[in-house]
Amino acid sequence: MRPIDRGTIPKEKGIDKTVSNYTHWRKDLIDRIGSYCSYCNMKITFSPQVEHVSPKSLDPTRKVDWTNMLLACGPCNLTKSDKPTSHTTHLLPDMHNTHLAFAYIEKVFRRKGETYDGAIAIPSTSLVKGSVEETMAKATIELVGLDILKVNNRATDYRWKERYEAIIHVRSARQCWGEAPKKDNMLIDNICFQAQSRGFFSIWYRAFEDVPEMREALIKAFNGTSQRHFSQVDYLPVPPIV
Ligand SMILES: [Zn+2]
């Protein structure tokens, strides 16, 4: 999960912007962090939902608070709904180094006699079992349903499919990189463009983690990726998670 920095309150005519409706932050959020779901990291091609980290029903004083806003896809927002959410109980992309906390794995599953290829998020295997980080990672997966494998006729939640297709796409891009005779800027730009078009930052980053120029390029290709969670020298992720 990409760690995010939404930055300070946007300015309007030189002073801190105020809004009467939280949806009025949408453009600012897209400008700052890109049109991606902050939780599943899927690219959102049309109008991402403005999401309250701490739910507005439980925390009405933060209903239009810039520091409480992220962007979400429908399934993440719907699953999260008004569940209590905090930076002390959950790993959250606007606070923690969430890139280090999760892994994405393929999962074949069956529904009504059909077999499907999907992918889910799990706590990173580098986390110590029973540790605070692992407990918080599990809570986040549960919060937004990053392990849901769901099939219905309305296709309301295809995150498992998008995630799986991203893994396959990334694998192919990595193979192309390996076989390319010249690793030049055009190739780097091309891979970054593919990554931006699909989303799932952490899946791309991890596949190219051994390539310093790709680490740097991917971090820069995704606006609003938290600078403090990646070294500005070698672009490797910087612990701790919490
Ligand atoms: Zn999502």
What's the pLDDT tens digit per position in 30-78?
A: 999 999 999 999 999 989 999 999 999 999 999 999 999 999 999 999 9
Q: What is the pTM of this model?
A: 0.97
CA 181 to ligand 1 center in whole angstroms: 36
Contact 73, 236 (CB under 8 A): no
Query: How close is the Cα of 54 to the center of ligand 1, in Å?
Result: 16
* pLDDT (0 to 100) of residue 148: 97
Distance from the alpha carbon of residue 41 to the mean position of ligand 1, in angstroms: 6
| Token code pair at residue 28 | 């600012």
105 phi/psi in degrees, rounded to 5: -125, 150
- Ligand 1 centroid–CA 64 distance in Å is 21
Query: Which residues partner with 50 through β-bridges?
Result: 71
How far is 19 from 26, CA to CA, in rounded Å? 11
Determine the residue type at 51: E
Ligand 1 centre from 15 Cα, in Å?
A: 32
Ligand 1 centroid–CA 36 distance in Å is 8
Q: How far is the CA of 233 from the centre of ligand 1 (A)?
A: 31
* Gap between the Cα atoms of 66 and 19, Å rounded: 9
pLDDT of residue 216: 98
Instruction: Please tell me the predicted confidence (pLDDT) of residue 185.
Output: 97
Query: Ligand 1 centre and the CA of 60: distance in Å?
Result: 23
For the segment 125-147, what is each residue's pLDDT rounded down to a tens digit? 999 999 999 999 999 999 999 99
Return the pLDDT at 146: 98
- What band does 119 get if pLDDT is binned at 50, 70 and 90? very high
CA distance 213 to 220: 11
**Rounded mean pLDDT, 146-162:** 95
The pLDDT value recorded for residue 207 is 98
Compute, in angstroms, the gap from residue 180 CA to the centroid of ligand 1. 33
Q: What are phi and psi of 102, to 5 degrees?
A: -125, 150
Task: Give me ligand 1 centre to Cα 72, in Å.
Answer: 5
CA–centroid distance, 150 to ligand 1, in Å, is: 14
- The torsion angle over the Cα atoms of residues 28, 31, 36 and 39, rounded to 10 degrees, is -50
Q: What is the pLDDT of residue 48?
A: 96
Mean predicted confidence (pLDDT) in 225-241: 97
Give me the mean pLDDT over the 100-124 stretch. Answer: 97
pLDDT of residue 169: 98
Q: How confident is the model at residue 121 (pLDDT cuts 50, 70, 90)?
A: very high
Residue ranges of the domains in the chain? 11-80
Phi, psi angle pair for 211, to nearest 5°: -115, 100
Return the pLDDT at 176. Answer: 97
Which among 220, 169, 151 is positioned nearest to 192, based on CA atoms? 220
CA dihedral in degrees (32, 157, 102, 232; nearest 10)?
-20
Q: pLDDT digits over 160-212, tens only?
A: 999 999 999 999 999 999 999 999 999 999 999 999 999 999 999 999 999 99
> What's the pLDDT at 13?
95
- pLDDT-based confidence at 109, cuts 50/70/90? very high
For residue 42, how far is its CA from the centre of ligand 1 (angstroms)? Answer: 6
Question: Ligand 1 mean position to 78 CA, how many Å?
Answer: 9
pLDDT for the residue 210: 98
